[in-house]
Chains A and B, each alone.
Chain A
Amino acid sequence: MTTRRQFLSTMAALSAASTLPQSAFAQASAPVFAPRPGSWRNFQLVTRLEIAAADGRAQAWVPLPSLTESEWIRPGGNEWTTNAGSAEVRRDDKYGAQFLHVEWAAGEKAPVVEVTSRFASRDRAVDLAKPGNAPALSEAERRLYTEGTDLIPVDGIVKETAGRITTGKTTDIDKARAIYEWVVDNTFRNAATRGCGIGDIAAMLKTGNLGGKCADLNALYVGLARAAGLPARDVYGLRVAPSRFGYKSLGAGSEIVTKAQHCRAEVHLSGHGWVPVDPADVRKVVLEEPPGKLAIDDAKVVAARHALFGAWEGNWLGYNAAHDLTLPGAKGPKLEFLMYPQAETAAGRLDCLDPDTFKYTIRAKELTAA
């Protein structure tokens, strides 16, 4: 029962609220995007691949969760069923990317493989304001993550641009942050880009066309960071669940995640270890977060921009951080990165960006919620 005293108290509160300035309401309902390490979440991923137009011998390469990082990802094993003659887990020597290599005999009319992978992940957040005690990279690791790749050169226009961005920045954190802010301010997400883009960063800088998707924009971050002397890497993966912070653009919309590939980036900072960064997702929020085409100073964008230098959400699987991957047994050229299932028939390599013709589906399911 409401007493007269309570009623008067409520009326007084309402009256006070009605006199609050608009900014106080805005502050009260400000969007929150603040991943914090918490409970681990367990996921199951099922990749089903059928080669629709098998003509002669066929083979496929299905990416498997390959990263083990105690702070945020733990692979939980893979199983598969197939009518192939052979199926074997392979690992590339340079980056440790794992994939299932499946080979069908020429007589197989309906090649099919279904791969079930399990993994656990959780949010990440690195407090860059406090000194850390993360171990340093080995010399070999530092070399690997500061060198150029086929599409991410670290000399020429990339080096010149990185030099301009980091002029006057004396610490690695300041340099890493300056590059992050520069990528957010100078690039845009291009909805017309197929897949996640290709990541030809020298061409982007040379032409001045800084539009693309995650494999373009985050590759630009990685290349600029490497050119500035900071170890950095792209992590190629897949969104597997909605964002718990209500950001529609930063999560998977359903269990079917066939086209939910997304790559993120990391920069290695002394004392802090690998630090998550994702300027491409800031640009995704700008373009796609409802109602769409948000201003850069929109509160949702500001919150994501603040968080995505140093944190990311664990609703995503990182497959691997490999570049320029040679697929064993393949007739086609090496891959810029391995984020999509790949296959070849006698006619050549299939189009991994056309899953409906290829064809493949990927389903993700959370097994245990935090």
Chain B
Amino acid sequence: MEFTLENMAGGRAQLSEFRHRIVLLHFFATWCEPCRAEMASLQNLFERHAGRPLAIVAVNVAEVKPRVERFLAANPVSFPVLLDSDRTVARAWRVAALPTTIILDAQSVPVLIAEGDVDWGHPDIDAKIKELLAKELLAKSDP
């Protein structure tokens, strides 16, 4: 499901920009307590897999930009953060609770959904990410 949302720089970003990579589509809000710790965990994951075809796209649900800016100042991340100010995208993706992370394969097909917070540094989780990345790299190497 394609979408276009405002990013923190005031520009627009589309989900399709991240196609051909494994995408962690992460829905969060600043009022959601587990979301704070999970943001740091996602940043660590992002850094561990730098240079690999993995994208993290965080989508803030229904909050004003200054509030998200303040949150990110305290919880800095290197991946894009988009603003779903009227919940349109969260609804389209049937997000029922925050945080929710949907892992998309390189064709933007959901392959895993995590409702609730996830320790992205957990060996089992990391192994799953590596498995998805390996599949993706294998697919790319196929003639």
A binding-site residues for B, Cβ under 8 Å: 150, 190, 192-195, 197-198, 200, 202-203, 206-207, 332-334, 336, 347-354, 357
Contact = CB atoms under 8 A, between A and B. Distances in A.
B41 interface: no
Interface string B16-60: 000000000000011101000000000000000000000000000
Nearest to B63: A351
A333 B30 contact: no
Given A206-B97, A332-B85, A349 B30 contact: no
A327 to B, nearest CB: 13
Contacts of A333: 62, 85-87
Interface of B is mostly: loop
Given A351-B64, A353-B67, A354-B70, A207 B87 contact: no
Given A198-B31, A333-B62, 17 more contacts: A150-B87, A193-B31, A194-B31, A198-B29, A200-B97, A202-B96, A206-B115, A207-B97, A207-B115, A333-B87, A349-B64, A350-B64, A350-B66, A351-B70, A352-B64, A353-B67, A357-B66
A203 B97 contact: yes
Contacts of A197: 31
B96 A206 contact: yes
10 contacts: A193-B31, A203-B97, A203-B98, A207-B97, A333-B87, A350-B66, A351-B66, A351-B70, A352-B64, A357-B66
A86 to B, nearest CB: 23
Interface of B: 29-31, 33, 62, 64-67, 70, 85-87, 96-98, 115-116
A193 B67 CA distance: 14
A195 B64 CA distance: 14
Given A203-B96, A333-B85, A192 B33 contact: yes
A349 B83 CA distance: 12
A336 B31 CA distance: 14
A354 B85 contact: no
A115 to B, nearest CB: 21
Contacts of A350: 64, 66
Nearest to B83: A348
A49 B33 CA distance: 30
Among all A-B residue pairs, the 5 with the closest Cβ atoms? A333-B86, A203-B97, A351-B66, A351-B67, A349-B64
